[in-house]
Amino acid sequence: MTERSFVPFLLEMLAPFLVWGAHFGAVYGINGIACARGLDAGASGPVGIAPASLAILGVSAAALVAVGWLLVRALRRAQAGRQHRAEGGSPGRDAVDFARWFAAAGAGAALIAVLWVTLPVLQVPACA
Amino acid sequence: MTRPQPGSPLPSPLPRPAEELETLRRVWRPPGGLAIVTAVNNNIIGLFYIGTALLFFVMAGLLALAMRAQLAVPGNDLLDHGTYNQFFTVHGTGMMFLFAVPMVEAIGVFLLPAMLAARDLPFPRLSAFAFWAYFFGGIAFFCSLLFDAAPDGGWFMYPPLTGARFSPGINADFWLLGIGFIEISAIAGAIEIVVGILRTRPPGMSLDKLPVYGWAMLVMAGMIIFAFPAVIVATLLLEVERVFAWPFFQAELGGDPLLWQHLFWFFGHPEVYIIFLPAAGLVSMMVPTIAQHPLIGHRLIVLALVGTGFFSFGLWVHHMFATGIPSLSLSFFSAASMAVAVPAGIQVFSWIATLGRGRVRMSVPALFVLGFLFIFVLGGLTGVMVAAVPFDWQAHDSYFVVAHLHYVLIGGMVFPMFAAIYYWWPMVNGRLLSKRLGTAAFWLMFGGFNLAFFPMHLTGLRGMPRRVYTYPPDLGWDWLNLASTVGAFVFAAGVLAVLADIARSVLGHGERASPNPWRAGTLEWLPNEYFATRSIPRVSSLYPLWDAPDLPRQVEAGGHFLPGAPTRRRETIVTSPVEARPQYLMPMPGPHWGPFLAGLFTAAHFLMLTVQLYTLSIVPGVLAIAMVFWWLWELDKGEDFPPQDIGGGIRVPVYVQGPRSHSWWAMAVLLLVDGTAFACLLFTYLFLWTVSPDVWPAGPAALPAIWRLAAGLALWAAAAGAMAWASRALAQDRHWRMRLGMLLGLVLAGAAMATDVTAQVSTGLRGSDSAYGATVSMLLAYQSFHLAVTVLMAGYTLARSAAGRLAARRRVTFDNTMLFWQYTCAQGTAMLLVLHLFPRLTG
């Protein structure tokens, strides 16, 4: 049996959290620069969606797609693992099963976290 | 490597030859007398570390008592305001940097090898060096109080208060240089822990069977790797501003004090979890034993630990809610601050469910764990309160925040630590600490803590600001402060009771413990000596001692892996990181004067820098480097033994090189630290450009000519290529070609650096002119530092080559140098692209 390579294994487990981190850094960065440079003009309505906030929503949508894809992928792999085990499977796959469960659960958590962090864009003025 | 033979009940047949155990004991025997300072074994260094951290806890605690005495009544004059400023600064700094982080690492150094049934952590001399640097540096830091030279700007040292203008003298430098270099110890410890957990687990302990404490320490070490570079960069910038007047934080020259807050809290908030997660890991190890039931939700707890590690990097601005940051940005951090309560809640519910499902046996560790749950939950709830921006604006910088942070830190770390001391003390000297004294200590600490800190919520809500050295009467704060003071002394009495209990046990009193006194299920309770377990067990579950009751006897008899010392020197099994399959036998270094002296000289170097003896500081600096080379020289032995039988029909080599080597892993982790520090410098550049674009060059005319960029890029690429050429030459054992390649590469790298510096100088740039000049100069200085380190490493590698200690099949030293070298070239390239292209794109 070949030894499992660590870096891809780790990346599979952590990918949802990495997407969350990239999303968080991006939305804060966009908002910070937009406010420092006065790019929040063009807001309209009682709260107003500034162009920078629209950009944040776009980044958030991309992050949600990415995390959603990771979630579906992890669930499919976990399902395949369960099927493999039910059919007798090969021994020594505990770590793989664990990683797949972890990736799926992490993707679920990251999905909620991205939504939760994005929510204020719809409620709070960008640079007040 | 051959595979295990089927049908063998134990990896090593019993009985074992009698001389096997004698050899094991002989090679692992610790040095005696004065030479104990040369010890490197984790059992000794771990105890030194824990003892020193406890000492600093007591010293910082005494400062707290003095402050509480001062605040007991209004208008008190026990301490003047200057002394009070020094006391609260050294108290906070000491507790965070000299007690909490070192303590969690120290417990890891002591416990992890036993929990993983490894003979030691993979870099024992690095651990020893980290400890001694911390020990001497910490003592010097506390001694600054005796000379009225202690820092007085608060533990987070905000500029401009701590800049040269408002804090002349060396008080602030004691913090910046003293703490800055002690953090290097923390990073060394983190590297040790990451490689130890991932590469020295026992055969069969795949990642899914790693104890929760291992996960907690892994996450903690990962957080140190990505968080600590930020504070190191911040301290570097402030110190450079103080010494050379490079205005990173001076608004009138394009700097911004908020830059410090961003960098400091990017470290500072994860720091809270760096302290808490290991403590939570300890609780997750004790709770199943206390309840005699496996931890409910093991996988969810691991997910919660990792999730907390990530989310904690999205919280730093919640320390800056009152700084005028845009409201939407605040909302992002407010949301993340509330979200982080979810993984903490998962752990709390899991512990409660485990205790509920099991049969709880009340003991001193159980009391402290229950106390932890009560206090930490309260601290967490007030944490959610201050995560709400409007509430935070009301409570900001008031005693409410003091109450909150002590509920989190003392509840979340100190109570688990005392639980751990009572729980794992039998591993120190085979005795149980006193149940009677421990119970009394718990109630004194629990009662005293709540009496001291609960009223502070009210004092804060009634408007008392933190860090005031006295207050007028009749503001409604008098009785609350008096209660807090009484509580603080009651808490201290509890700590004193624990110390008395420890002293009593060290002097030989107390009940002798059975080998597994709490009936725990994890490996640290196997029969243990300095070399950890007699043989390294094959693991197949999360609670091996519960699932295989005969395991202790088998292990002690030598029936599992590596029952002796086949090469007659210290060694342990290195396993694969995911599935924990044996890969090779790692030789481990023994006692040496190098780590002790290197720690001493490193501390002396930084102390001399602090007191502005700049020229003289070169002497201990050079000596420290020499000591490191001294201890390294005898390592990297090459394949000096044939592959060895470690049991189970498995033969493994005694030397590997390349990406499978533990040394390669350590260098890779170090480069992650380094890359993060560089990223922090790039953040500095971009942040200051965001706030002060007017001090950036207006267009290409004010920038170096573009051909200088091309020349710099070509030279860094050529330097990297020369090293790659040298690497290929070494692979063919063509030593002169390898040396030529390295020397040529050094010349090219030197030329690249000179080109980069002259390019900027050609525009008339000076570090003290503006924030732009300061940032560009700092990036160049940082790259020059890397070049200097590369030169040192290359010189050492060439010396080994000249001494015949380098070959195609003995090249770990070369590989380490190559990794750092190539990183330096890549960093130089990235720096050049930013410095030349960014202003052109935005100008």
Domain of B803, CATH number, reads: 1.20.120.80
Which one of B207, B317, B332 has the shortest CB-CB distance to A27?
B332
Of B109, B400, B382, B416, the C-alpha closest to B276 is: B416
pLDDT digits (tens, 9 = 90+) for B209-256: 999 999 999 999 999 999 999 999 999 999 999 999 999 999 999 999
Q: Which amino acid is at B691?
A: V
Residue B571, in any domain of the structure: no
Non-local CB neighbours of B418 within 8 Å, separated by 6+ positions: B368, B441, B442, B445, B498
Asked which of B506, B539, B570 is the last residue of a domain, the reply is B506
Put simply, the answer to whether A24 touches B335 (Cβ < 8 Å) is no
Q: Are A43 and A49 in contact (CB under 8 A)?
A: yes
Look at residue B3 and tell me whether its pLDDT is greater than 90.
no
Put simply, the answer to whether A21 touches B313 (Cβ < 8 Å) is yes
* Beta-carbon count within 10 A of B812 CB: 21
Give residue A78's pLDDT.
87
Residue B516, in any domain of the structure: no
- What is the interface size between A and B, counted as CB pairs within 8 Å? 106
Residue B729, in any domain of the structure: yes
Quick check: B579 contacting A, CB < 8 Å?
A: yes
For B341, the token pair is 């309560």
Which one of B300, B303, B332 has the shortest CB-CB distance to A24?
B332
Quick check: B581 contacting A, CB < 8 Å?
A: yes
Look at residue B180 and tell me whether its pLDDT is greater than 80.
no
Residue B44, in any domain of the structure: no
Quick check: B4 contacting A, CB < 8 Å?
A: no
Mean pLDDT, to the nearest integer, of B191-203? 97
Look at residue B460 and tell me whether its pLDDT is greater than 70.
yes
Put simply, the answer to whether A36 touches B690 (Cβ < 8 Å) is yes
Residue A16, in any domain of the structure: yes
Query: Which chain A residue lies closest to B683 (C-alpha atoms)?
Result: A29
Put simply, the answer to whether B310 touches A35 (Cβ < 8 Å) is no
The domain in which residue B231 lies consists of: 50-506
Q: What is the DSSP letter of B174?
A: I
Give residue A84's pLDDT.
80
Mutation pick from A71, A114, A116 vs chain B, by most beta carbons of B within 10 Å, is: A116
Asked which of B506, B540, B567 is the last residue of a domain, the reply is B506
Residues of B in contact with A123 (CB under 8 A): 331
Q: How confident is the model at residue A61 (pLDDT cuts 50, 70, 90)?
A: very high
Domain count for chain A: 1
Mutation pick from B218, B312, B321, B329 vs chain A, by most beta carbons of A within 10 Å, is: B329
Put simply, the answer to whether B206 touches A53 (Cβ < 8 Å) is no
Put simply, the answer to whether A117 touches B335 (Cβ < 8 Å) is yes
Domain count for chain B: 2
Rounded CA separation B389/B367 (Å): 35
Put simply, the answer to whether A6 touches B311 (Cβ < 8 Å) is no
Residue A127, in any domain of the structure: no
Is the ipTM higher than 0.85? The answer is yes
Residue A3, in any domain of the structure: no
Non-local CB neighbours of B719 within 8 Å, separated by 6+ positions: B745, B746, B748, B749, B752, B821, B825
Q: How far is B208 from chain A, CA to nearest CA, in Å?
A: 5
Residue A95, in any domain of the structure: yes
Q: Is the peptide bond between B160 and the residue preceding it cis, with omega within 30 degrees of 0?
A: yes
Q: How confident is the model at residue B526 (pLDDT cuts 50, 70, 90)?
A: very high
For B164, the token pair is 């040269």
Residue B639, in any domain of the structure: no
Q: How confident is the model at residue A45 (pLDDT cuts 50, 70, 90)?
A: very low
Quick check: B691 contacting A, CB < 8 Å?
A: yes
Rounded CA separation B417/B409 (Å): 11
Put simply, the answer to whether B206 touches A121 (Cβ < 8 Å) is no
Which one of A24, A32, A126 has the shortest CB-CB distance to B314?
A24
Q: How far is B92 from chain A, CA to nearest CA, in Å?
A: 29
Non-local CB neighbours of B390 within 8 Å, separated by 6+ positions: none
Which one of A3, A99, A127 has the shortest CB-CB distance to B326?
A127
Helical axes A94-118 vs A6-36, angle rounded to 10°: 10
Q: How confident is the model at residue B835 (pLDDT cuts 50, 70, 90)?
A: very high
Residue A58, in any domain of the structure: yes
Residue A4, in any domain of the structure: no
Residues of A in contact with B320 (CB under 8 A): none
The domain in which residue A81 lies consists of: 10-34+48-122
Mean pLDDT, to the nearest integer, of B487-497? 98
Residues of A in contact with B335 (CB under 8 A): 116-117, 119-120
Asked which of B453, B479, B506 is the last residue of a domain, the reply is B506
CATH of the domain at B496: 1.20.210.10
pLDDT digits (tens, 9 = 90+) for B750-800: 999 999 999 999 999 999 999 999 999 999 999 999 999 999 999 999 999
Give residue A48's pLDDT.
55
Residue A1, in any domain of the structure: no
Residues of B in contact with A53 (CB under 8 A): 328
Residue A64, in any domain of the structure: yes
* Beta-carbon count within 10 A of A26 CB: 17
Quick check: B310 contacting A, CB < 8 Å?
A: yes
Rounded CA separation B831/B837 (Å): 10
Q: How confident is the model at residue B4 (pLDDT cuts 50, 70, 90)?
A: very low
Give residue B5's pLDDT.
44
Give residue A41's pLDDT.
67
For B753, the token pair is 């650096």
Quick check: B328 contacting A, CB < 8 Å?
A: yes
Residues of A in contact with B334 (CB under 8 A): 120
Quick check: B329 contacting A, CB < 8 Å?
A: yes
Look at residue A90 and tell me whether its pLDDT is greater than 70.
no
